């Protein structure tokens, strides 16, 4: 848990719930707060020799294949996606290309260097995203030519970003567990977009479960979430994000945005809410993760 990415606090919040569930299940959880001191992490793992590792890290290093590679080398069973699936899903550019090749509709987009964002590189509205971060960290929406461009002087992510056509309409997210879609939820932020604050602050967004979509669109978003999970070689649980644009025509159009290979498990996170609606409690889900943990994922 923890880690040293921009999503450290989210990981710690997720871990608190997981630790409580493990205790309720009769397990003996051993919390390991991961720091840049990898030697200390290796020593902790060698000392405790856990039967299974629940990887509750979020963001860079913990969700992109790095920690997964270490656990593979040490032969420890662990949860969620492996080296390949984690790396593919966390690289938004690669994930977009792979899912597009398999028929999923995506917004127009391109990768550009930070220094090229002194001027508009696409006609607004568009979205600027870090290529390898989650929780909407570093995301900027440029709605029109009057929207000021971000000041990237203190940019602390990669030197390239994804610039993607902004899709109006509805925010839809789907949880996939063990390769099967479990439900779709619609998020309606009370203001702005579903950013970091809206995701982790109570009262900032309305959750509609199940998402009030036409039956055929609901079936399509469930199908596309499963496809993305498999295309990107993911395991365990994932959450895929979509936009449904029904602002100009009926029926509207569904767009795939990205897949999160280690979605949050905080009190406000969407995966536990979706699974609860499907009949699986938080504690049952943690039990599932323990039983599902393995090497060579």
Q: What is the pLDDT of residues 86-110, one digit of tens each?
A: 999 999 999 999 999 999 999 999 9
Structure-model confidence comparison of residues 150 and 260, the more confident one: 260
pLDDT for 197 equals 52
CATH of the domain spanning 89-105+168-292, picked from 3.30.470.20, 3.50.50.60, 3.40.190.100, 3.10.450.50: 3.30.470.20
- Give which of 193, 182, 168, 164 is closest to 221, Cα–Cα: 182
- Per-residue confidence at 284, pLDDT binned at 50, 70, 90? very high
- Per-residue confidence at 114, pLDDT binned at 50, 70, 90? confident
- Across the range 270-274, mean pLDDT stands at 96
Label each residue of the chain as H, E or C: CECCCCCHHHHHHHHHHHHHHHHHCCCCCCCCCECCCHHHHHHHHHHHCCCCECCCCCCCCCCCCHHHHHHHHHCCCECCCCHHHHHHHHCHHHHHHHHHHCCCCCCCEEEEEHHHHHCCCCCCCEEEEECCCCCCCCCEEECCCCCCCCCHHHCCCCCEEEEEECCCCEEEEEEEECCEEEEEEEEEECCCCCCHHHHHCCCCEEEECCCCCCHHHHHHHHHHHHHHHHHCCCCCEEEEEEEEECCCCCCCEEEEEEEECCCCCCCCCHHHHHHHHCCCCHHHHHHHHHHHCECCC
How many CB atoms lie under 10 A from the CB of residue 46? 10
Q: What span, in angstroms and rounded, lies between the C-alpha atoms of 193 and 283?
A: 31
CATH code of the domain made up of 8-80: 3.40.50.20
- Per-residue confidence at 16, pLDDT binned at 50, 70, 90? very high
Mean pLDDT, the chain, rounded, equals 91
- Token pair 């579903």 is found at 194
**Among 114-118, 199-203, 219-223, the range of highest mean pLDDT:** 219-223
pLDDT for 202 equals 58
- Is the confidence at residue 253, as pLDDT, over 80? yes
- Per-residue confidence at 264, pLDDT binned at 50, 70, 90? very high
């Amino acid at each position: 848990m923890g880690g040293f990415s921009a999503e450290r606090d989210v990981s710690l919040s997720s871990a608190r719930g997981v630790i409580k569930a493990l205790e309720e299940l009769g397990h003996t959880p051993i919390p390991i707060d991961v720091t840049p001191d990898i030697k200390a992490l290796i020593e902790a793992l060698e000392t405790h020799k856990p039967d299974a590792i629940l990887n509750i890290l979020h963001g860079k290093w913990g969700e992109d294949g790095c920690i997964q590679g270490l656990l593979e080398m040490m032969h420890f069973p662990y949860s969620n996606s492996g080296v390949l699936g984690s790396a593919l899903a966390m690289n938004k550019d690669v994930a977009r290309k792979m899912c597009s090749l398999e028929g999923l509709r995506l917004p127009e987009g391109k990768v550009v260097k930070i220094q090229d964002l002194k001027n508009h590189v696409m006609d607004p509205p568009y979205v600027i995203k870090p290529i390898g971060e989650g929780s909407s960290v570093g995301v900027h929406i440029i709605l029109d030519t009057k929207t000021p461009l971000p000041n990237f002087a203190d940019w602390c992510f990669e030197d390239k970003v994804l610039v993607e056509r902004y899709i109006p309409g509805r925010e839809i997210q789907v949880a996939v567990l063990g390769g099967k879609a479990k439900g779709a939820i619609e998020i309606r932020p009370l203001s702005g977009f579903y950013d970091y604050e809206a995701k982790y602050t109570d009262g900032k967004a309305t959750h509609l479960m199940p998402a009030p979509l036409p039956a055929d669109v609901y079936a399509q978003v469930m199908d596309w979430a499963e496809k993305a999970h498999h295309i990107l070689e993911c395991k365990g649980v994932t959450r895929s994000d979509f936009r449904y644009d029904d602002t100009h025509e009926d029926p509207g159009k569904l767009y795939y945005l990205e897949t999160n290979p280690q979605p949050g498990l905080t009190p406000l996170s969407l995966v536990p809410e979706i699974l609860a609606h499907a009949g699986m409690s938080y504690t049952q889900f943690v039990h599932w993760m323990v039983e599902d943990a393995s090497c060579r994922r």
